Structure 1
Amino acid sequence: MILFFNVIFVCLNTAVASVLICCLALLKMLLPVPALQRAITRACNGIMWVWATLNHRLVNLTSNVEWDIQGGESLSKEQWYLLIANHMSWADIVVVFSVFRHRIPMAKFFLKQQLLYVPFLGLACWAVDMPFMKRYAHQYLLKHPEKRGCDLKTTRKSCERFRHTPTTVVNFVEGTRFTEEKRHATHSPFRHLLSPKTGGIAYTLGAMGEQFDAIINVTLAYPENRDLPFKDLLSGKMKKIVVRIHTLPLDSAVKGDYFNDKTFKRQFQQWLHQRWEEKDDELSAIYGEVPIHKRVERR
Structure 2
Amino acid sequence: MVVAGILKLILPFRVVSQGVTAFCNVMMWLWCLSLAFILKVTNRISWDIQGADELSRNSWYLLISNHTSWSDIVALCVVMRNRIPVTKYFLKQQLAWVPFIGIACWALDMPFMRRYSRSYLLKHPEKRGKDIETTRRSCEKFRDHPTTIVNFVEGSRFTEQKRVQSKSLYQNLLPPKSAGIALALNVLGSQFDRILNVTLYYPDNQEKPFLDLLSGQMKRIVIRIETLPVDDSIRGDYLNDKAFKRQFQLWLHDIWQQKDQQLERLKQQFIDKR
Q: Does 1:138 align with 2:118?
A: no
CA contact (8 A) 1:84 1:218 kept: yes
The aligned residue for residue 23 of structure 1 is: 3
Aligned residues with identical type, % of pairs: 53
The aligned residue for residue 81 of structure 1 is: 61
The one of 204, 225, 235 aligned to 1:255 = 235
Aligned length: 267
Q: 1:262 to 1:128 in 2, by over 3 A?
A: same
Task: Name whichever of 217-226 and 279-288 sits farther off.
Answer: 279-288
Q: 1:231 to 1:134 in 2, by over 3 A?
A: closer
The aligned residue for residue 247 of structure 2 is: 267
Q: Does 1:106 align with 2:86?
A: yes
> What is the alpha-carbon distance in structure 1 between the residues aligned to residue 161 and residue 123 of structure 2?
33
> What is the alpha-carbon distance in structure 2 between the residues aligned to residue 151 and residue 92 of structure 1?
24
The one of 191, 197, 221 aligned to 1:211 = 191
1:238-249 matches, within 5 Å, as 238-249=218-229
Q: TM-score, normalised by structure 2?
A: 0.85
CA contact (8 A) 2:135 2:183 kept: no
- State the 1:158 CA deviation: 4.4
Q: 1:56 to 1:184 in 2, by over 3 A?
A: same
CA contact (8 A) 2:132 2:180 kept: no
**2:4 is aligned with what amino acid?**
L
Q: 1:212 to 1:231 in 2, by over 3 A?
A: same
Q: Does 1:236 align with 2:219?
A: no
- State the 1:112 CA deviation: 5.7
Task: Name whichever of 229-238 and 155-164 sits farther off.
Answer: 155-164
**SS of alignment partner, residue 288 of structure 1:** helix
The aligned residue for residue 52 of structure 2 is: 72
> What is the alpha-carbon distance in structure 2 between the residues aligned to residue 194 and residue 133 of structure 1?
18
- State the 1:152 CA deviation: 4.3
Q: TM-score, normalised by structure 1?
A: 0.78
> What is the alpha-carbon distance in structure 2 between the residues aligned to residue 207 and residue 116 of structure 1?
23
Q: Does 1:282 align with 2:262?
A: yes
> What is the alpha-carbon distance in structure 2 between the residues aligned to residue 285 and residue 119 of structure 1?
40
CA contact (8 A) 2:113 2:131 kept: yes
- State the 1:56 CA deviation: 1.8
> What is the alpha-carbon distance in structure 2 between the residues aligned to residue 150 and residue 28 of structure 1?
24
**SS of alignment partner, residue 264 of structure 1:** helix
The aligned residue for residue 5 of structure 1 is: none
Task: Name whichever of 61-70 and 42-51 sits farther off.
Answer: 42-51
Task: Name whichever of 258-267 and 112-121 sits farther off.
Answer: 112-121
> What is the alpha-carbon distance in structure 2 between the residues aligned to residue 272 and residue 227 of structure 1?
27
CA contact (8 A) 2:121 2:128 kept: no
Coordinate RMSD, CA, aligned: 2.7
> What is the alpha-carbon distance in structure 2 between the residues aligned to residue 58 and residue 173 of structure 1?
28
The one of 26, 41, 46 aligned to 2:21 = 41
> What is the alpha-carbon distance in structure 2 between the residues aligned to residue 163 and residue 89 of structure 1?
30
> What is the alpha-carbon distance in structure 2 between the residues aligned to residue 252 and residue 243 of structure 1?
28
**SS of alignment partner, residue 50 of structure 1:** helix
**2:239 is aligned with what amino acid?**
F
